Structure 1
């Protein structure tokens, strides 16, 4: 069996609020939530087999640099969708501004930044 990405964990201001917009935009479900390390709180949101772990520390610190300039930085999260136009409408309804649209082989894409400063790439393959 080929290895499959099971989850990614990143820090957000409010895991419940972030999970809520992800449920609205991507149709994901909360798989688990509860207390986490160092007095933090985590929400796991995604599908049956894969998810994002959204962690909020007890004392969060704002990011100071572009992740593209930092070794080990999270540059963006790619999400594959079936209907990119419907997803873009949901992204806008969630209050985020899509940018950098492109048609490319083998599909279409756009990006948006969420309220945590995390960049998402939304992709639809033809």
Structure 2
């Protein structure tokens, strides 16, 4: 059977431009596409040439009111591999976010942070 490849995930955000700038600054990604979307919303694809995060905003969003780990089908976190974990953490801290849950394990190291919309990112390195 051929191996499948994850192309993208789609996340609702409150401010597409702000989240796009954050992902570009922290991970070195680029805006692949931006345009109109369902329900008079807007979508932006931010990532690399082979994979991305689709950011969706209908204009006004509801604030999250529960922990996603307790919600069936909830998004728990987005895992991003980086070459230099310390450099990535410096960019995240410089952007004003708080990192937490640092851990080194076999085969790598990781930490987490929450963005403007409380989306959790796991940043990890196998280097």
Question: Structure 1 stretches (4+) deviating beyond 3 angstroms?
Answer: none
Residue 68 of structure 1 is matched in structure 2 by: 69
Matched residue pairs, number? Answer: 126
Quick check: 1:104 aligned with 2:105?
Answer: yes
| TM-score normalised by L of structure 1 | 0.97
Deviation of 1:58 (Å): 3.0
Quick check: 1:46 aligned with 2:26?
Answer: no
Residue 84 of structure 2 is matched in structure 1 by: 83
Q: Is the Cα–Cα contact under 8 Å of residues 41 and 57 in structure 2 kept in the other structure?
A: yes
Alpha-carbon separation, structure 2, partners of 1:95 and 1:55: 23
Q: Which runs of 5+ in 1 are unaligned?
A: none
Residue 28 of structure 1 is matched in structure 2 by: 29
Alpha-carbon separation, structure 2, partners of 1:29 and 1:50: 11
Q: Which runs of 5+ in 2 are unaligned?
A: none
| TM-score normalised by L of structure 2 | 0.97
